[in-house]
Amino acid sequence: MKNCIACGMPMKKESDFAMGDPQKDYCVYCARPDGSMQSFEEKKQGLINFTIKTQGLEKSVAEKAVANMMSKLPAWQEYFKK
Amino acid sequence: MKTKRQVQKEATRLHILETAYQIYAEEGFSATTNQIAKAASVSHGTIFVHFPTVENLIVCLLDDFNAEINGQLHGLSEKNEQLETFLEAHINVLIRYEAFYKRLISEVNSLPQEAKFVFINMQSIVSFHFNQVIERCKNEKTVKEIPMHIIFNSWLGLVHYYLTNSYLFTEGSVLTEYKEELICNFIKLIEK
Ligand SMILES: [Zn+2]
């Protein structure tokens, strides 16, 4: 089983993959409408908004939690080089 | 290909993590690396070869735990699933790790900062699936217009209350015994 390189979600069904294509490394939620992968900023903002919406977190807490999560994902390594 | 040495190194790392999981579940996060080393039958120094600090050990352990929860919840969640099915899947995953999870929620406030973020991200995995189900229920007008975070936090609050105060309810697995009651009454609270 693959995990999405941009958000970590497990991908097992075809419908989990971007464009329903199991060759892709990223999931349907990390794809733009045209099928390309979202940028770092787009994904970060999306995750922050999502965390606030579903867990009610204060913005700065959500930002730090999202940064922690993204720093561990293959797609975003270059943004976290020390 | 991995060398024999690398394979062995990974096996030791995993063994330390599994032992730490057991010890923390039994003793809480104040358990020492000495205790973990002893239980794992490795030298104290070996732990620090793999994990430079205790904080790093806890964070790595929680990262693995998140990956496990992520895989299981994703496996149990289906498209178009019912609210009840999702809540049951969530509780079933927690039952599998009940002792450890109970320690985690009781002590998360005193864990290192990074561990707290990993904990938030664990809840994000749950809220991701939960939100999908609730959005659909809202479209079908089967649940009340309550903000998503209040629905989610109320559910977590309920489950966590029973877990952290399990001595009030049972000597066994509180989630196993109260699962049905919690699920069916939580749905009654939010359904239209
Ligand atoms: Zn993704």
Task: Report the chain B residue with the minimal C-alpha distance to residue A65.
Answer: B117
Same domain, B91 and B26: no
Rounded to whole angstroms, how far apart are CA atoms B80 and A6? 24
Q: State the best of B78, B117, B131, B155 to mutate against chain A, taking most chain A CBs within 10 Å.
A: B117
Considering the domain architecture, whether residues B17 and B66 belong to the same structural domain is answered as no
State mean pLDDT over A75-79: 96
Asked whether the beta carbons of residue A69 and residue B121 sit closer than 8 angstroms, the reply is: yes
Please check whether residues B31 and B43 belong to one and the same domain: yes
Q: Which domain holds residue B111?
A: 54-190
Least Cα separation, residue A37 to chain B (angstroms): 19
Distance A43 CA to ligand 1 centre (A): 9
* Helix, strand, coil tally for chain A in percent (to 5): 55, 10, 35
Same domain, B16 and B96: no
Cβ A69 vs Cβ A47: under 8 Å: yes
Per-residue pLDDT tens digits for B79-91: 678 999 999 999 9
Q: What is the pLDDT of residue B45?
A: 96
One-letter amino acid at A17 equals F
Q: What does residue B191 show for φ and ψ, rounded to 5 degrees?
A: -80, 155
| Distance between CA atoms of residues B7 and A26, nearest Å | 28
How far apart, in whole angstroms, are the C-alpha atoms of residue B125 and residue B128? 5
Cβ(B101)–Cβ(B68) under 8 Å? Answer: no
Identify the CATH number of the domain in which residue B29 sits.
1.10.10.60
Residues B103, B132, single domain; the answer is yes
Tens-digit pLDDT profile for residues A16-56 = 999 999 999 999 999 999 999 999 999 999 999 999 999 99
For chain B, what is the domain count? 2
Does B166 share its domain with B104?
yes
Task: Give the residue extent of every domain in chain A.
Answer: 2-80
Tell whether B48 and B128 lie within a shared domain.
Answer: no
Residues of chain B with pLDDT under 50: none
pLDDT computed for residue B132 by the predictor: 92
Beta-carbon-side half-sphere exposure of residue A74 (alpha carbons within 13 Å): 8
The pTM (predicted TM-score) of the whole model is 0.93
Residues B5 and B59 in one domain: no
User: Are residues B12 and B106 located together in one domain of the fold?
Assistant: no
Shared domain check, B93 and B39: no
DSSP letter assigned to residue B53: S
From B52, B80, B95, give the residue that closes a domain: B52
Same-domain status, B28 and B98: no
8 Å CB contact of B75 and A9: no
> Could you give the residue ranges of the DSSP H alpha helices within A1-82?
40-55, 59-70
Mean pLDDT, all residues of chain A: 95
CA-to-CA distance for B82 and B88, rounded, in angstroms?
Answer: 10
* Residues B113, B184 within the same domain: yes
Contact A69 B75 (CB under 8 A): no
Q: What pLDDT sits at residue B78?
A: 67
Cα of A46 vs its chain's centroid, Å: 8
Burial classification of residue B70, based on how many CB atoms lie within 10 Å of its CB (0-12 exposed, 13-18 middle, 19 or more buried): buried
Spacing, Cα A55 to ligand 1 middle (Å): 19
